[in-house]
């Protein structure tokens, strides 16, 4: 029997419609439609493991499966923390390095319990989330995997902790897979295929004559000028007397709840930064403003931790190279990379301005972190980060760095945060003889994580010691630390220190087809893309793709950066 061309098309279309109607578990079915566990698991990276997690009987919807896996993840996180605590209870048989690695796992596991509790409280409330809620939950679930990977990395680097590694390897692996299932199911159920449209324009704020949209006058922050803070008259007077800066009278840009002074000469409230941090009230929600710590000029040799309960702290110094926090912890001397930081931030909403952070261990000591940042909605503006290997650890959560200087050699901007660097100077230094400089080492381990490193309007330059080396050191933009490493560099200047290949493999062909490295509209002698790597994961992108990695889109900065009062551009320049 013969059919016309139109008849054949009609039958194919009818068959397709019947297939969809008869299969509510299809990929186009709404998240509220009942599906069997096997179908739900197909959206995860490990469907076989997922089927052992979800209920074997019944047909819940994707929302229910997501909540179920989240509850399982929370229970698992509690058990894992108890296991770590048991190992620490027997610390008399462990080396100091093994104890430090376990203490890292202890902190990270505690944070995972907090993140899962927060995510569960949000998802149990409604099926319909607003855009900022979606972004927050995806950030929390992404950080679960990062924390677990950091725990694992610290233990693997500890040669003397063989028994601990052996005992925790399976629990770590199972936890990672379980957290990955929770993230995948959340993304499948709560994040639409066509992700919500975000504002790609500039932040609405005061427009200065030169046309850039600013909240701080850029000539003032760190450059002996005014700071737009709102506070009571007595506090305003104290700040002006201490800092020598006049406050803008007609602005309410930044709200400050309280203010204390750190000064080494004893003229302030505290002589150490740590004491000032400890004085801050716990668990501020930001609604009454920041707890402002003004740190007078001086070199502060101390290790500062902004704990998870010290939220919405604002720390302002007297300027780069004026207010300096310095330390020298490093891996060679027995510290873990995670715990080698001079300055560590966990508390949400931290803002740091006009300061220098150093790790002076030097290149021979290998991993030595100046700042480790795992604080959500955190900001550094007009700051300098100085080290060699692993200078700035953008560990997790959402972060912004504006008009900062970063110095280092090997993997010196690394981690797995969702982070944007804007208008920063990136200085590669002279490494050990025979070493190669790699600027970034981004650590995304799961394609469902919303993490990555975006660098916009930055300058990639040689520090003085490298410039004097006459080009014997090769410098690359980055290498893939983890399987789904993601780094985008756009609208930036690259000097001649950048190798024509641009990017360096980590180990053989590891991650070359799963990473996402992209460049857009860069300039300078090192910016040519004609001789760049030809990996499947490397891209030269256009403006529409680049817009996804702007402040407004990638970290939803318009929702939280204005509170910090720092200048930024929301979209492409």
142 within domain boundaries: yes
Tokens found for residue 362:
């030097």
Residue in 104, 257, 390, 411 annotated catalytic: 411
The answer to whether residue 279 sits within a structural domain is yes
257 annotated active-site: no
260, 181: one domain: no
Low-confidence residues in the chain, pLDDT < 50 = 1-27, 195-225, 247-252
Please give the DSSP secondary-structure letter assigned to residue 470: T
Which position has the token pair 């021979």? 364
CA 233, 234, 240 angle in degrees (round to 5)? 85
Residue 236 half-sphere exposure toward CB, CA atoms < 13 A: 17
Residue 115 Rama label (left phi>0; alpha psi -120 to 50; beta): alpha
Helices then strands, each counted (H, E), the chain: 13, 27
Residues 185 and 260 grouped into a single domain: no
Same-domain status, 296 and 400: yes
Query: How confident is the model at residue 18, as a pLDDT?
Result: 38
Cβ proximity of 523 and 494 under 8 Å: yes
Which of 489, 511, 533 is at the close of a domain?
A: 511
Q: Which of 458, 423, 457 is nearest to 439 (CA)?
A: 458
Residues 299 and 400 in one domain: yes
The H or E element containing residue 407 is strand 405-408
Sign, CA dihedral 460-464-466-471, equals positive
Please tell me whether residues 268 and 402 are part of one structural domain: yes
Helices 96-123 and 62-89, packing angle to 10 deg = 160
Whether residue 264 sits in one domain with residue 115 = no
Given 511, 529, 556, the domain boundary residue is: 511
Whole domain around residue 418: which residue ranges? 256-511
Would residue 485 count as lying in a domain? Answer: yes
Does 182 share its domain with 275? no
Closest alpha carbon to 200 in 570, 495, 573: 570
Pairwise CA distance, residues 181 & 187, whole Å: 10
Question: Cα 454 to the chain's mean position, in Å?
Answer: 10
pTM of the model: 0.90
Could you tell me if residue 6 is inside a domain?
no
Domain endpoint, select from 511, 528, 559? 511
Q: Are residues 268 and 400 in the same domain?
A: yes
- Asked whether residue 183 is assigned to any structural domain, the reply reads yes
| Pick from 218, 225, 90: nearest CA to 567 | 218
Check whether residue 493 and residue 344 sit in a common domain: yes
| In a shared domain, residues 165 and 314 | no
pLDDT of residue 472: 85
pLDDT at 246: 56
pLDDT at 194: 54
List alpha helices for 157-219, DSSP H: 162-190
At residue 378, the pLDDT reads 98
**Number of domains composing the chain:** 2
Position 365 in a domain? yes
Q: Is residue 27 part of a domain?
A: no
Residues 184 and 261 in one domain: no
- 7: Cβ contacts below 8 Å, ≥ 6 apart: none
Same domain, 186 and 260: no
Tokens of 225: 């000028």
Residue linked to tokens 């080698």: 340
Note whether residue 572 is domain-resident.
no
CATH code: domain of residue 66: 1.20.140.40
Residue 336 half-sphere exposure toward CB, CA atoms < 13 A: 26
Q: The domain spanning residue 471 has which CATH number? A: 2.160.20.10
């Amino acid at each position: 029997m013969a059919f016309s061309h139109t008849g054949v098309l009609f039958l194919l279309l009818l068959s397709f419609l019947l297939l969809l109607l008869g299969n509510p578990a299809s990929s186009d079915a709404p998240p509220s439609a009942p599906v069997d566990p096997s179908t739900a698991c197909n959206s995860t990276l490990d469907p076989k493991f997922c089927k052992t997690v979800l209920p074997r009987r019944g047909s819940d919807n994707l929302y229910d499966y997501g909540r179920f896996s989240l509850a399982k993840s929370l229970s698992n996180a509690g058990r894992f923390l108890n296991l770590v605590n048991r190992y620490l209870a027997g610390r008399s048989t462990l080396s100091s390095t093994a104890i430090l690695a376990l203490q890292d796992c202890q902190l990270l596991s505690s944070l995972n319990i907090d993140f899962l509790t927060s995510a569960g409280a949000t998802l149990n409330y409604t099926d319909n989330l607003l855009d900022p809620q979606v972004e927050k939950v995806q950030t929390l679930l992404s950080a679960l995997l990062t924390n677990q990977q950091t725990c694992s990395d610290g233990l693997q680097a500890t040669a003397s902790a063989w028994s601990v590694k052996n005992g925790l390897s399976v629990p770590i692996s199972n936890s990672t897979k379980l957290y990955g299932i929770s993230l995948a199911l959340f993304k499948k159920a709560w994040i639409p295929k066509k992700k919500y449209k975000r504002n790609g324009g500039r932040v609405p704020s005061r427009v200065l004559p030169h046309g850039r949209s600013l909240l701080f006058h850029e000539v003032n922050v760190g450059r002996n000028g005014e700071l737009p803070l709102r506070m009571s008259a007595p506090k305003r007077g104290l700040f002006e007397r201490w800092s020598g800066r006049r406050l803008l009278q007609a602005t309410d840009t930044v709200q400050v709840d309280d203010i204390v002074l750190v000064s080494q000469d004893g003229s302030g409230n505290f002589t150490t930064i740590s004491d000032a941090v400890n004085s801050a009230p716990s668990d501020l929600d930001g609604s009454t403003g920041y707890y402002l710590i003004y740190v007078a000029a001086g070199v502060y040799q101390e290790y500062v931790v902004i704990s998870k309960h010290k939220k919405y702290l604002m720390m302002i110094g007297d300027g780069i190279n004026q207010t300096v926090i310095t330390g020298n912890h490093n891996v060679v001397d027995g510290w873990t990379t995670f715990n080698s930081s001079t300055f560590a931030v966990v508390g949400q909403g931290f803002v740091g301005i006009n300061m220098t952070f150093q790790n002076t261990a030097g290149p021979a000591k290998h991993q030595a972190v100046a700042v480790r940042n795992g604080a959500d909605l955190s900001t550094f503006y007009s700051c300098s980060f100085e080290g060699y290997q692993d200078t700035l650890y953008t560990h997790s959560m959402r972060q912004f760095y504006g008009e900062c200087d970063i110095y280092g050699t090997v993997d010196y901007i690394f981690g797995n945060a969702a982070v944007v660097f804007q208008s920063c100077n990136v200085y590669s230094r002279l490494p050990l003889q025979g070493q190669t400089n790699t600027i970034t080492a981004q650590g995304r381990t799961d394609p469902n994580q919303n993490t990555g490193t975006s660098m916009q309007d930055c300058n990639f330059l040689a520090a003085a010691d490298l410039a004097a080396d006459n080009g014997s050191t090769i410098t690359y933009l980055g290498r893939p630390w983890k399987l789904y490493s993601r780094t985008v560099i756009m609208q930036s200047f690259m000097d001649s220190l950048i190798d024509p290949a641009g990017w360096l493999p980590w180990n053989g062909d590891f991650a070359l087809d799963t990473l996402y490295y992209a460049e857009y509209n860069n300039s300078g002698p090192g910016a040519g893309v004609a001789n760049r790597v030809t990996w499947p994961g490397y891209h030269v992108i256009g403006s529409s793709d680049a817009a996804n990695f702007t402040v407004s889109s990638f970290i939803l900065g318009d929702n939280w950066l204005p509170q910090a009062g720092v200048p930024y551009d929301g979209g492409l320049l």
